[in-house]
């Protein structure tokens, strides 16, 4: 499952559109969960892009520079932790770093520590409810705006 968008046809439109877009990259292999998150993020005026595989998500990240990443830990081709490490290595100087929300069935201390070391902003434990998603996303985006000089 992939959320593709059609690029604008002229360069000036592309420049102005990309500066206004608030992209949320959802890295989730469960189609139903991806749809729930997409519909919920649209309510916050975010443009959700869903990728089911880690390698595809890394390419999208470098292309779209999202403001938010929602990252499942268990993906078919690599772990979410490997994806997060690869994202940091792929473009370490690209500011600002997006907010990262980890999606997991495991809310245990080991996973939380692994996330803290990698700079994860928040955790959502599955199954996910739309109100839960809204509240956490609002919180991390507000926290990000408050941290920006």
Provide the percentage of residues in the chain whose pLDDT is more than 70.
Answer: 82
Residue appearing with tokens 């201390």: 109
pLDDT value at 149 more than 80: no
pLDDT interval class at 79 (50, 70, 90):
very high
pLDDT in tens, 36-72: 999 999 999 999 999 999 999 999 998 898 999 999 9
Q: Provide the pLDDT for residue 95.
A: 60
Q: Provide the pLDDT for residue 21.
A: 81
Task: Please state, in angstroms and rounded to a whole number, the distance separating the CA atoms of residues 116 and 29.
Answer: 23
DSSP 109-147: HHHHHHHHHTT--EEEESSP-HHHHHHHHHHHHHHHHHH
Running DSSP on this structure, what letter comes out for residue 108?
-
Threshold 0.85, pTM exceeds: no
25 backbone φψ class: left, alpha, beta (φ>0; ψ -120 to 50): beta
For range 121-136, the mean pLDDT: 90
Closest by alpha carbon to 51, among 41, 39, 38?
A: 38
pLDDT interval class at 121 (50, 70, 90):
very high
User: Dihedral sign, CA of 143, 133, 113, 59?
Assistant: negative
């Amino acid at each position: 499952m992939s959320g593709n968008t059609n690029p604008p046809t002229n360069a000036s439109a592309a420049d102005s559109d990309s500066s206004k877009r608030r992209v949320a990259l959802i890295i989730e292999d469960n189609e139903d969960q991806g749809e729930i998150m997409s519909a919920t993020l649209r309510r916050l005026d975010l443009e959700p892009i869903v990728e089911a595989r880690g390698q595809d998500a890394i390419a999208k990240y470098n292309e779209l520079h999202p403001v938010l990443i929602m990252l499942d830990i268990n993906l078919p081709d690599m772990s979410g932790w490997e994806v997060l490490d690869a994202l940091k290595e792929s473009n370490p100087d690209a500011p600002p770093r997006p907010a990262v929300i980890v999606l997991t069935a495991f809310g245990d201390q080991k996973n939380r520590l692994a996330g803290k070391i990698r700079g994860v902003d928040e955790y959502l434990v599955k199954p996910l409810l739309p109100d839960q998603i809204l509240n956490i996303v609002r919180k991390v985006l507000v926290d990000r705006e408050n941290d920006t000089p």
